[in-house]
Amino acid sequence: MKDKILWIVVATCLIGFAIYTIQIQTMYSVTEAKAEEVMDESVSKVKPKEAQIAVYPTKLGKIADCESGDGTDGSARQFYEDGSVVIGKYTKAEFGKDVGKHQVNEKVWGKKARELGYDIYTDGGNDLMAIWIYERHGSGPWSASRKCWVS
Shared domain for 112 and 87, answered yes or no, is yes
Shared domain for 55 and 116, answered yes or no, is yes
* 151 against 35, higher pLDDT: 151
Shared domain for 131 and 61, answered yes or no, is yes
Structural domains of the chain, count: 2
Shared domain for 115 and 78, answered yes or no, is yes
Shared domain for 70 and 96, answered yes or no, is yes
Shared domain for 42 and 55, answered yes or no, is no
Q: What is the mean pLDDT of the chain?
A: 75
Shared domain for 19 and 75, answered yes or no, is no
* 56 against 19, higher pLDDT: 56
Shared domain for 139 and 68, answered yes or no, is yes
Shared domain for 84 and 28, answered yes or no, is no
Q: Please tell me the predicted confidence (pLDDT) of residue 2.
A: 61
Q: Please tell me the predicted confidence (pLDDT) of residue 88.
A: 87
Per-residue DSSP letters for the chain?
-HHHHHHHHHHHHHHHHHHHHHHHHHHHHHHHHHHHHHHHHHHHHH--HHHHGGG--HHHHHHHHHHHS-SSTT---SB-TTSPBPB-TT-BTTTB-EETTTTEEHHHHHHHHHHHT--TTSHHHHHHHHHHHHHHHTTGGGGGGHHHH--
11-46 tens-digit pLDDT: 565 565 555 555 545 444 444 444 444 344 433 333
Shared domain for 38 and 55, answered yes or no, is no
Give the domain range for residue 16: 2-46
99-113 tens-digit pLDDT: 999 999 999 999 999
- Confidence grade of residue 57 (pLDDT, cut at 50, 70, 90): confident
Interval 78-103 mean pLDDT: 86
